[in-house]
Every structure is written in C-alpha cells, then in structure tokens.
Structure 1
Amino acid sequence: MKTPMQGLPFLYKRLAYVALNVTDINKSIAFYSGQLGLNVHVERQGEKVGLRCDQYAMSLVLYQEDVAGLRRVCFQVASTEDLQLAKAHFQSRSYECWDIPGTEIEFLNIAGGFRVHEPITGVTFEYIDCMVEPPKVLDQSLAKIQRLGHVVIRTNKLDEAWAVMNNDFGLLSSDFVVDKAVWARCYPNPFHHSFAMVKSDSPGLHHVNFMVSEIDDVGRARNRLINAGVDIVFGPGRHMPSGSVFLYFLDPDGMTAEFSFGMEEFPEENPREARMLENSAQTMDLWGGMPKPEFCKRGEIAGPEFNE
C-alpha cells in the first residue's frame, strides 16, 4: 500500500469547482443562487455562468445544453510545480492532456491549467494551480456555505475505476462499502472525501455537495426548499462513513445536490486505514432514513472537451 508522502505523483490542494450542463440556465441560476445561496460572480456570458460559495471566484459553473449532467471536475493542485508534475505524470501514463482554451481562462478566473479525460468513468478532469480570490464579501444571508464539498459519480465499473483513480490520479481511499462505493480524498487535503464513486448499472452523476458552516443551515434549507416546492429525496440524516449530517434535494433538472454539516478530517501523517463498511441502509443513514426513488438518478456524464 502506498504511503502518503511516498509514491504520490503530485499533491492536491482542494476540489476547486464542478461544471454542470443544465437545460434551462435561468431556472438553474435561480435555484442555486435563490434557494441554496451561492453568489453569481461571473454574470451569464452567452450560455454559461459562474457561481461561488467561498473565498474563490468559482465553485459551480453552469452551461446551457440540451442534456443535463456532469461536464467536468476541477481540482486545484498544491503549487505550480505540482501542476507541471501532474501533467507530466498523466502524459507518462498515456493520457491525452490539453490546455484549457484561452477563451475560458478569463471566464474561469484562473491563470491556466490542463484537462484530461478518464475513459473508464467518462469524466473530464481539470487541473489548475491557482484561482482568483475576489475582494467582494460573499452574501451569506441565505445560507452559510463553507465550501464546495465533493462530487460523486455512478459507475458500472467500480473496481476498475477505483484502480485508475488511486494509481493514476493519486486519490487516497477513506472508506469503502462492500461492492458498492468508495470515498476518496485528495492528499494532503484533510477532508474525508472530495470525490467518490457508487456502483450502478447506469453511469452518470450521483450528486454535488456543498458543506455548510452550521447544522442550522441544514434545517433551514429543508424548510426553505419544501416551501419552494423542491423535492427532498433523502434526509436529514447522518452518514456513517464521513459522520456528516446531510440533506439531499433535486435541482430543476432532477439532478441531486446536497447540503451537509461536519466531516471527518484526516491528518497528513499516520491517518487511519480505510474501513470496509457493511452494505446496508444504516451505513448510509445512522438515523434510519431511506432515500426516495429519485435520489441520485439524473445527470449524464459529458464527453471530453477538446475545444470550446
């Protein structure tokens, strides 16, 4: 088993942003800003818009498309050197890497970076070394979102996909559920998971998570969303793997989003071993809740973005 400081090809900093394709961008803007509390930082430019939930310029990017789903996942690495190491590493593993198009650089508020397509999951990953931190204070009157927490996908090739994400992408396992799921962190980021995969016959987006600062944000969101006619599909409850209190709900395209409070954090040195947890309903909710059938069922994974 690889140790954190020996054998990792490069170091991560955080999950930077998630890009989603949506079928009605105006409805999605209204939902993610008016119901969840993200701030529009980059006003709609044609068929795309950028929203933020923390000190950085971008946490969620929405693109108008015919089919809703996951467009790409962006990680910020620890340094410029790590960005160079990451690109060289992927190229050494025969992945095709392409630079982020110049037309996107200013929109994304980044200095540059590259993209790489992972064929088993179908996900396009983006790697950057920095992102603008705007001076404008966030409006957190609706919800005190702490950060973009994680993104989870569905895959019908869980074992093969995890082998790639571990060996080629350098993610570390935090927990497994028997023949069902793996939660992964991006070292040395301490959070239990920034990326996860769930076994499913229908590959696609599982959900996107936003971590809130207070447990009351979860309760207030539940009531606010119910009053707005938004479907709550799971929770409130508490996950066994991360210890998080959660609430899942559907966006205008039926894709699942999550508010969560609290998460286990791993030390850089001598972290605990990943656990193999029972595949049971109680593992997913220690409070005994059950998800609705619509939970985490919508959202296609888009193909690679060689040109924009």
Structure 2
Amino acid sequence: MTERLITHLRHVDLAVPDYDKQLAFYTGTWGLRAEHTDTGLTFLAAEGSPEQYVVRLRRDADKRIDLIAFGAASDADVDALAARLARDGVRLVSEPGDLQTPGGGYGFRFFDNEGRTVEISASVAVRRHRPVEEGESIPVRLSHVVVNSADPEGTRAFYERHLGFALSDTLTHPRMGQMMWFMRVNAWHHSLAIARCPHPSLHHASFELRGLDEYMRGTGRVLRAGVEKIWGPGRHLAGNNTFSYFLDPSGNTMEYTTELEQVDEDTWHPHLYDFTRPEVADQWGTANAMNEFVAQRSFNDPDRGLFAAPPV
C-alpha cells in the first residue's frame, strides 16, 4: 500500500465566465465569506473552517476546475510526495516552493491522469474561525469534491497508487456496472469521489452544515432564494450523509450535507451498493427520484482546463 502523505481536503478552485453572479451566489445565498479579493479573483471561506478558503472563484472566459487542493502534515511530506510523483512519471506543474495564496505555505501542483490540476500544501496559516452556532444555516467546512471521469477505473488507480487514497464504497448498476467510487484520505468516509461520465468535469462540491436542523434550514433558504434544486433533501446510504443538490449560476452542482460517516480505517471493508435500490440513493425516501434529468445535470459541461494549469 502506498504511504499516505495527504491529510485532508483544503479547497476547490473554479474558473467561471459569470464571475459577478457566482460571487453574489456564494456570498449572498450559499453562506460563504469573501475573505480575500483581487481583480477577478475571490477567496471564499467557511465560517467554521480553519482553512484560509474553501472555494476560489476566478474570472475566465472558460468554465473549468482550476484545481483541487489537499493538505499534507509537513513541508518534508510535500517534498517526499513531489519526489514520488516525479519518479513515477507524473507531470508536475510546479516544483515545491512557497505559495503566494492567502495563508502562504509550501506546496506544489501536478496534473492527475486526466489532466486536472491538483495542489498539495503544508504550513498554511490557520484562519481565525469560530464555532457555527445553533440554527446558523451556513457551511462549516468543505466536506468533499466529486469529479466526473471518462476513465474512472484509471482515475481511481491513480489516486490510490500515487496519493494513498483508500476505497470506502462503490455504487453499482445491474446493467452499467460500477458507477461511483468513494475515496478517503482520513476517517471521513470520502473526501473525493469519482463518477463515471462521458467526459471529465466537476460532478459536485459538498459543504458540511452544523447539524440536521441547520441543513434543513439551509436547504429551505436556498430554495426560497429561487435557486434550482436538482435532488433532495434526503440521506444517502454510502457515507450515511444528508444531501440537497442545487445548481449555481454557472451550472455547477453544489451540495449541502451533514453527518458524513467517519469510519474505523483499521476494520472498514468497502461495500458494493446497487443504486437502483431506492434506499441506496435515499434512505429516507423524501428526495425526488434519481433519474436521467438529475444524472444529466450532474454530468456538467466538459472541463476546459485539462492539462492547462490555471494562471494563478
């Protein structure tokens, strides 16, 4: 087994053509805080998270994932991981060095097997944050990111072999075979999941709320704001987390969730779940059916940023 040097998920960075609409959505509706802003660039924090930011928005003509960022425990681990990837023939975008983003730190970037830019960093300054109070329906932290993949088996193998991710559970279909893989880097059931899709793209990003009441209040607030809901509210079987999926102004799927399962990594054995069983998709039975409409919206637009590092 590959030694795991990644500790956790830090942030997801998105490039969008409708930057102003996106910024208004994430700060005015979704509940994130704009902590740092430059021309056409905003770093958005979650009130309960020590991370400097959990989403970065960048103005661009193309809609794309700029990068997905993970943390490491030390600068030495960053160096070790960069050396391992280079030795294995993974294409580095940048060598380890000082980061110029909020909180500083030490890190590097590389392309994964399908061309997504991934950043690994350590020594980033902890953001001054606070406990989210009872009844506050705003994100506590970035829970997980799910990517669409045209080669999901290869993508799973890449993250297991090179980055030490472990498989938690798999969703299957009687005719289509295995369709989604939930991957972890710590006790949380998944920080990353990989979905089978005709093209690489963002499937969704998920934000943890304080508890069930806050999750439902948040779901209601976003609904009242007129944001299009595509699925939920409900509770998945894999991960045992709640879900409400909405579309941001660019058509990216964003999720409110809570109570994601934490597993005992020493004893956990991955399950194969047939997601055509209603209780697999939604244990509660309260969500609208998972159908072709929901699946198509989650396919998203093909990512235009593959094997093209973001300018910042």
TM-score normalized with structure 2 length: 0.88
Among 238, 247, 256, the alignment partner of 1:259 is 256
Compared CA separation, residues 276 and 90, structure 1 to 2 (3 A): same
Q: Which runs of 5+ in 1 are unaligned?
A: 1-6
Cα-Cα RMSD:
2.2
1:225 aligns with 2:222: yes
- Alignment partners' CA distance in 1, 2:149 and 2:39: 32
- Alignment partners' CA distance in 2, 1:184 and 1:48: 30
Between the two proteins, the alignment pairs up a number of residues equal to 296
Deviations 1:241-265 (A, max 9, x none): 0000111001011110001010111
Compared CA separation, residues 75 and 136, structure 1 to 2 (3 A): closer
Which sits farther off after the overlay, 283-292 or 26-35? 283-292
- Alignment partners' CA distance in 2, 1:101 and 1:159: 28
What amino acid sits opposite 2:74 in the alignment?
A: S
Quick check: 2:75–2:106 contact (8 Å CA) kept in 1? no
Runs of 4+ more than 4 Å apart: 136-142
- Alignment partners' CA distance in 2, 1:77 and 1:32: 27
- Alignment partners' CA distance in 2, 1:246 and 1:172: 23
Q: Aligned-pair distance for 1:98?
A: 3.4
For residue 248 of structure 1, what is the aligned residue in structure 2?
Answer: 245
Which sits farther off after the overlay, 238-247 or 283-292? 283-292
What amino acid sits opposite 1:244 in the alignment?
A: N
- Residue 245 of structure 2 aligns to a residue in which SS? strand
What amino acid sits opposite 2:208 in the alignment?
A: M
Among 83, 96, 101, the alignment partner of 2:91 is 96
Quick check: 1:18–1:61 contact (8 Å CA) kept in 2? yes
TM-score normalized with structure 1 length: 0.89
- Residue 183 of structure 1 aligns to a residue in which SS? strand
Deviations 1:69-116 (A, max 9, x none): 3111000012222111111110111112233798x9333322221001
For residue 297 of structure 1, what is the aligned residue in structure 2?
Answer: 299
- Alignment partners' CA distance in 1, 2:242 and 2:193: 17
For residue 123 of structure 1, what is the aligned residue in structure 2?
Answer: 116
Among 82, 85, 100, the alignment partner of 2:77 is 82
What amino acid sits opposite 2:39 in the alignment?
A: G
**Identity score, percent:** 25
- Alignment partners' CA distance in 2, 1:158 and 1:77: 25
For residue 272 of structure 1, what is the aligned residue in structure 2?
Answer: 268
* 1:173-188 to 2 correspondences below 5 Å: 173-178=167-172, 179-186=178-185
Quick check: 1:237–1:246 contact (8 Å CA) kept in 2? yes
Deviations 1:17-64 (A, max 9, x none): 100111222211111111111111112x11211011112211110011
- Residue 146 of structure 2 aligns to a residue in which SS? strand
- Alignment partners' CA distance in 1, 2:112 and 2:129: 36
Q: Aligned-pair distance for 1:203?
A: 2.6
- Alignment partners' CA distance in 2, 1:299 and 1:205: 8
1:170 aligns with 2:164: yes
What amino acid sits opposite 2:206 in the alignment?
A: N
Compared CA separation, residues 100 and 284, structure 1 to 2 (3 A): farther
- Residue 154 of structure 1 aligns to a residue in which SS? strand
* 1:281-296 to 2 correspondences below 5 Å: 282=278, 283-288=280-285, 289=287, 290-291=289-290, 293=293, 295-296=297-298
- Alignment partners' CA distance in 1, 2:144 and 2:129: 24
Q: Aligned-pair distance for 1:169?
A: 2.1
Q: Which runs of 5+ in 2 are unaligned?
A: 173-177
